[in-house]
Structure 1
Amino acid sequence: MAEPLTVSIADLRAALLRALDATEKRLGPEVALDVDYYWHLAVEDAFNMAGEPQTFTVGQVSDDLEEAVQDEHDRLPEEASHDLSHLVGVLRALEFAARS
């Protein structure tokens, strides 16, 4: 890849909203997630094409959901990767539910 890819946060937000709207139309305003634990690949390994990942960990949708929706504290810019990681787990569980 010669130049880095760029993403517009506004465009990504709009795309996510469209996907969530479509999911709500298909599954309703509340979705029962019949999964909890999942295989998680560290983001550093996921984007390292120099070698095959050697380590997987376990993620937990219930933990991700709790972390993702809590509004007890202000989100600090330094916490963005933590918040995004939890949202990815919830979104994957929604993807799984939508495929059923």
Structure 2
Amino acid sequence: MAEPVTVSIADLRAALVRTLDATEKRLGPEVTLDMDYYWHLPVEEAFNMAGEPQTFTVGQVSDDLAEAVHNEHERLPEEASHDLSHLVGVFRALEFAARS
């Protein structure tokens, strides 16, 4: 088993800001995403190295944006995983757009 990895939220936040700044320089302040649906691998399977993933689901970028970005409800700490899951979909769509 691999050694645990510690991540600094402050360092991650700074890296995210740098990455979003670079993405904005490449794609502009608003990005039109030409795709909506994508394959999503549940996080439990993504980190289980004991076998190949067996379950794929479908994610939707428009739903991810509605849930994590446009929904301005109070963010409770125990709900962080829900928003992180939605943000992953948005970031993957941005990654796809930046590669084009």
The residue correspondences of 1:23-34 to structure 2 (distance < 5 A) are 23-34=23-34
- Identify unmatched segments of 5+ residues in structure 2: none
Partner of 2:65: 65
Say whether 1:19 aligns with 2:33.
no
In the aligned structure 2, how far is the partner of 1:71 from the partner of 1:39?
23
How big is the shift at 1:49? Answer: 0.3
How big is the shift at 1:91? Answer: 0.3
How big is the shift at 1:71? Answer: 4.4
* Stretches of 4+ aligned residues off by more than 3 angstroms: none
Q: TM-score if structure 2 supplies the norm length?
A: 0.96
- Identify unmatched segments of 5+ residues in structure 1: none
Partner of 2:77: 77
Amino acid at match of 2:32: A
In the aligned structure 2, how far is the partner of 1:71 from the partner of 1:57?
23
In the aligned structure 2, how far is the partner of 1:2 from the partner of 1:52?
18
Deviations 1:46-68, CA, capped at 9 Å, x for gaps: 00000001110000000001111
Q: TM-score if structure 1 supplies the norm length?
A: 0.96
